[in-house]
Structure 1
């Protein structure tokens, strides 16, 4: 049988070149070309002029971007690829870098300058007419943190434990009082309103005086006092430290204190478990990520304002003003966000929470006459008219502060006489006259938003949003198998997601 010559020991006159083995339009060449064009001066500032010379940051940056483009996220796997993969070896000119160097570059050197690098690539894509920077589609998703799934700390549990400590302290004090009535009632009894180190120490000292040497004191009470002496102050310090870590959140993971427990759609148990996660927000155009931020709160309502403010800070006012339109789903539809977008002069194609329901004919039929949204409002007289034609006059105004700290102004209206009304059972279930509260500022925003979303342009925007921003998350999570961060901490997680976003954008450039 005849075969082509095969001899592993065959010497060659000219050694093989990696450049000959890589096709002309291979993605690794695109990454090499892009990084060579951008300004890495901010990255160079992270290096010291003293000490031994390090690996060139431009080379390491190329390696990091190509790693995330090829779904290689582990520093050890990157080290292995630098020794075995000809594309990596071509990028580094066969320079072998260990995983510790890769980690130090990714976690320390790159963090302060990466956003600027990302911005330069986005503006490069804009110069190539792949994006216009005039409109954005914004959405968020939840990605699991690199943290223990069962190492949680809950804010409510801390409050409950503190309340139990206070209750046990008060109970022991009352017991000590009951067996020591020789001096009569206390002149200055301790107040059990809020637990603190001072309250614990003062109360324990006075209980100790009453129980020590008292033959009526039970062994159980003395044992409880000893337990309080040994544990209550240290436990309180622990709870205070946990509350400081929590901040405005309701939970965090012990193995990544920046991660918050969120209900995940994609989880290993397939039942929507609470798991430590982050909430990445992205703004896209033509499926290219223009901006990204990472948030610790699970809902999207509070993320829009800081997300856009971060974009303004990164790109500058001149480019930020070019973005005239923003499209987002109902998770962002709040009075605070509508007011903010109005001040920023952005046309908001942002649904409010009941918009989709209002388009349902069954919902319209059910709520046509009796819901407060459909009651006639007389703007000049500032009153509503109930389904029976009765005036509902304004009774008072009030203020309400949302969870995000935004102050809302509410107007309250009430009918004068609902007694004997034939449709009272259909209209409302209150015992007295029907009363409603209305947020007129929010209603104005909803009316304008409804008009925008139901227009021909609004319909196009809604269709475009679902085909623009949502597929990006599908690519990142499913095509690139990026369902869990590999780094810990908010700062490092943001950098890792940024590398994913930059790799995604370069994929889009290659495909264009």
Structure 2
């Protein structure tokens, strides 16, 4: 009996086909690329067409390049070179591009230049389409932020404190020479004004050095070392001052920036591409989400979430005409300025303040029995009652201005006879009578937030925030490996995050 042989399916590489399959037949009906294609086809691309000149050579159609870019970000392909390669080798990209083969320069130029003023409108169109399908709400959002590392060298940086230190050193050196010249000057009228922090600039330093040169040059008793030091100052200080002034213009209100991406600010990262948690140049990315769809996004220089809400809310109004009706956020946004802003916009704010979570803990409350917010207030007499039952009288207002220019008013109250009190040293640590500062407006806002957050809807929204907005960042950074921007400059970073936001929404829709 003959031995049986294994059976294989026919394998003929050079087999000709009478009716070759099309790309459309090779892509499943429920494939994500079809969602990308259908949504982008439904978007109004008129703003994008304005980025092209009427004259000149023919261009690849912007719909083609937009689809390739968006689907690239959906499938974790962010490099323009790899996108160009995918258009030559991958069936979904070949189907989207209709067998066109744009090179990486074309893709990169389209992303960095053509989309500069048009991508926001594309993103808004996508959000509105998803809202019409009932997948998300534009009026009820959850807001949070994350820091993402910039494409910048962490070793080439400029710090505001360093500039101030160097200018102070310059001032001291000029003061030393000025004091020396004052002692030996034959004619006091020739002496320039003494250098101060207010006149340390290129022009004033140059004028001061010229006058000091006149005083010291005509005096044979002048120390040669002092003259040499003055020559060094004359040679280097004006150029250094000009450099510092230019750096301060770039800094604006920031404390630092990277020389390789001047829009990036140094921030403490929870994680970065090197996984060592160092201080790195980055951007603060703010989003508002609904059902894990991104409704709004903004990019910020400043590392704290507290100061980003105003610009973020303005962008929402610019995109959709009005502010959201309800906004939920964590304690990072719970400031008097933000509460006042949300009140003015008539937004129902489910926003925690910094001590909200701690206040829910009975053990924490028992640790600080003498805290100012726990003292009894008699509104008829406008006095606080100290732990010993003595009155603390109003003695005036304290005005404070925040880094953003917001003015806060505190009412100050002072106790009497603290020296003889048995609780002295326990109730407070100051040497004299205890003084407390009360922000009446913020106290009212915190009470209002406390009541709202503890309603049935408030509790539900607090719970939902953790699995609505936070998973969006986790999905983009962890599941799709985007932890560092590829482009430089705030404008291009906004484009890149806009593409990530569209990709997140389309992935969610496809799922």
Q: Could you state the TM-score of these two structures normalised by the residue count of structure 2? A: 0.96
Residues 317-354 of structure 1: CA distance to partner in whole angstroms, max 9, x if unpaired? 3xx4xx32111001000000001101111111111111
Q: Which moved more, 1:49-58 or 1:208-217?
A: 208-217
CA 1:73–1:268: 2 relative to 1, 3 Å: closer
Secondary structure of 1:292's counterpart equals strand
What are structure 1's unaligned runs of at least 5 residues? none
What are structure 2's unaligned runs of at least 5 residues? none
Secondary structure of 2:366's counterpart equals helix
Distance 1:506 1:439 in 2: 45
Which residue of the other structure, out of 83, 91, 113, is the alignment partner of 1:78? 83
Distance 2:407 2:456 in 1: 34
CA deviation after TM superposition for structure 1 residue 268, in Å? 5.4
Which residue of the other structure, out of 126, 131, 139, is the alignment partner of 2:131? 126
Q: Equivalent residue for 1:359?
A: 360
Q: Equivalent residue for 2:501?
A: 501
Distance 2:227 2:274 in 1: 47
Matched, 1:8 2:9: no
Q: Which moved more, 1:431-440 or 1:125-134?
A: 125-134
Q: Equivalent residue for 2:208?
A: 203
Q: Equivalent residue for 2:251?
A: 246
Secondary structure of 1:432's counterpart equals coil
Count of residues paired in the alignment: 504
Q: Is the 8 A contact 2:190 2:215 kept in 1?
A: no
Q: Equivalent residue for 2:386?
A: 386
Distance 1:509 1:115 in 2: 19
Secondary structure of 1:384's counterpart equals strand
Q: Equivalent residue for 1:480?
A: 480
Secondary structure of 1:137's counterpart equals strand
Secondary structure of 2:321's counterpart equals helix
Distance 1:44 1:268 in 2: 36
Q: Equivalent residue for 1:140?
A: 145
Q: Equivalent residue for 2:242?
A: 237
Distance 1:332 1:30 in 2: 35
CA deviation after TM superposition for structure 1 residue 270, in Å? 4.8
Matched, 1:308 2:313: yes
Q: Could you state the TM-score of these two structures normalised by the residue count of structure 1? A: 0.95
Q: Which moved more, 1:226-235 or 1:256-265?
A: 226-235
CA deviation after TM superposition for structure 1 residue 131, in Å? 1.5
Secondary structure of 2:510's counterpart equals helix
CA deviation after TM superposition for structure 1 residue 249, in Å? 0.4
Matched, 1:69 2:70: no
Secondary structure of 2:120's counterpart equals helix
Q: Which structure 2 residues correspond to residues 318-357 of structure 1 after superposition, within 5 A?
A: 320=323, 323-357=324-358
Secondary structure of 1:239's counterpart equals helix
Q: Equivalent residue for 2:299?
A: 294
Q: Which moved more, 1:225-234 or 1:74-83?
A: 225-234
Secondary structure of 1:410's counterpart equals strand
CA deviation after TM superposition for structure 1 residue 360, in Å? 1.7
Distance 1:181 1:171 in 2: 14
Matched, 1:192 2:195: yes
CA 1:311–1:443: 2 relative to 1, 3 Å: same
Distance 2:218 2:448 in 1: 77
Residues 442-485 of structure 1: CA distance to partner in whole angstroms, max 9, x if unpaired? 00000111111122222111110011000000001001111000
Residues 341-376 of structure 1: CA distance to partner in whole angstroms, max 9, x if unpaired? 0111111111111111111222111223x1101001
Distance 2:371 2:305 in 1: 27
CA deviation after TM superposition for structure 1 residue 86, in Å? 0.9
Distance 1:219 1:421 in 2: 66
Q: Equivalent residue for 1:461?
A: 461
Q: Which moved more, 1:471-480 or 1:10-19?
A: 10-19
Q: Is the 8 A contact 2:185 2:215 kept in 1?
A: no
Distance 1:49 1:486 in 2: 31
Distance 1:271 1:174 in 2: 50
Matched, 1:414 2:414: yes
CA deviation after TM superposition for structure 1 residue 188, in Å? 4.8
Q: Equivalent residue for 1:26?
A: 31
Q: Which structure 2 residues correspond to residues 426-441 of structure 1 after superposition, within 5 A?
A: 426-441=426-441
Residues 379-436 of structure 1: CA distance to partner in whole angstroms, max 9, x if unpaired? 2221111111111110111211011110011100011222321222221122111110
Q: Is the 8 A contact 2:181 2:216 kept in 1?
A: yes
Q: Is the 8 A contact 2:396 2:412 kept in 1?
A: yes
CA deviation after TM superposition for structure 1 residue 191, in Å? 2.4
Secondary structure of 2:249's counterpart equals helix
Q: Is the 8 A contact 2:191 2:215 kept in 1?
A: no
Q: Which structure 2 residues correspond to residues 202-281 of structure 1 after superposition, within 5 A?
A: 202-212=207-217, 214-267=219-272, 270-281=275-286
Q: Is the 8 A contact 1:190 1:199 kept in 2?
A: no
Distance 2:185 2:308 in 1: 59
Q: Which moved more, 1:118-127 or 1:204-213?
A: 204-213
Matched, 1:169 2:170: no
CA deviation after TM superposition for structure 1 residue 223, in Å? 2.4
CA 1:329–1:68: 2 relative to 1, 3 Å: same
Q: Is the 8 A contact 2:273 2:483 kept in 1?
A: no
CA deviation after TM superposition for structure 1 residue 140, in Å? 0.1
Distance 1:402 1:463 in 2: 31
| Backbone CA RMSD of aligned residues | 1.5
Distance 2:408 2:189 in 1: 47
Distance 1:267 1:98 in 2: 30
CA deviation after TM superposition for structure 1 residue 133, in Å? 2.6
Distance 2:415 2:367 in 1: 22
